[in-house]
Amino acid sequence: MMDYPSKLIEEAVTEISRLPGIGRKTAFRLALHLLKQDPEFTHRLAGSLLNLRDNIKRCSTCHMLSDTEECTCMHFRKDPTTVCVVEDTPDVMAIQNTAQYNGYFHVLGGVISPLEGIGPGELNIETLISRIASPESQVKEVILALSATMEGDTTSFYIARKLKAYNVKITTLARGVPVGGELEYTDEITLGRSIVKRMTYETGE
């Protein structure tokens, strides 16, 4: 434990080092960096953090992090017949970055996890059902894009069963050997499933 020459430094180091992946040494280096910049630098940084935390909203339809509660999906997504169900906002961004999907999203806010006390009621599942059940719904396909973990699989199963009552196709992400992945280093469960779920080879002709 270092002796800081100032309580102000010590307090800032303590607060900065509460952030994940930042130890006290890095926190001290960051504090010294702030002191070397003009005060405006720190004011802009602190202001942006407060502004983010105090003013962030979630879209009332898809529950994505947003600057507004009104859904902006319709402005930049084109296919209202498909809804992709994900755990949280970073997953939306990851899928958007592939440029392979232009349908809508629905953010669950997590997955069912009895160990962490998260049941279906804690997730945005009811609003997903309402979206599908709405008379104005144009949704024809729901893609379950959750983590390939036990919790993700449980959640997918739960949602799929709930959606059976509606006339929508339910799909999930393809599982298999990752693109660029070498067989030798692919884990055996993935490899085993990839053989069982083998696909027709497409020559593109």
Residues that bind its own copies (CB under 8 A): 2-9, 11-12, 14-16, 18-21, 26, 28-35, 39, 41-56, 64-67, 89-90, 92-93, 96-97
For the CB of residue 97, give the shortest distance to its own copies in the complex, in Å.
Answer: 7
For the CB of residue 81, give the shortest distance to its own copies in the complex, in Å.
Answer: 21
End-to-end CA distance of the chain: 67
Of residues 6 and 60, the one with the C-beta less far from its own copies: 6
Of residues 92 and 132, the one with the C-beta less far from its own copies: 92
Distance CA 30, CA 24 (A): 10
**Amino acid at site 158:** Y
For the CB of residue 41, give the shortest distance to its own copies in the complex, in Å.
Answer: 7
Of residues 54 and 182, the one with the C-beta less far from its own copies: 54
**Amino acid at site 92:** V
Is 88 strand, coil or helix?
coil
For the CB of residue 135, give the shortest distance to its own copies in the complex, in Å.
Answer: 28
CB 66 within 8 A of CB 72: yes
Q: Which two tokens stand for residue 40?
A: 């405006």
For the CB of residue 34, give the shortest distance to its own copies in the complex, in Å.
Answer: 6
Of residues 43 and 197, the one with the C-beta less far from its own copies: 43
**Helix, strand, coil % over all residues of the chain, rounded to 5:** 45, 15, 40
Of residues 98 and 167, the one with the C-beta less far from its own copies: 98
Q: Could you tell me the maximum CA-CA distance found in the chain, to the nearest angstrom?
A: 73
For the CB of residue 42, give the shortest distance to its own copies in the complex, in Å.
Answer: 4
Distance CA 164, CA 119 (A): 20
CB 111 within 8 A of CB 147: yes
Of residues 35 and 160, the one with the C-beta less far from its own copies: 35
Compute the half-sphere exposure of residue 60: CA atoms within 13 Å on the CB side of its CA.
3
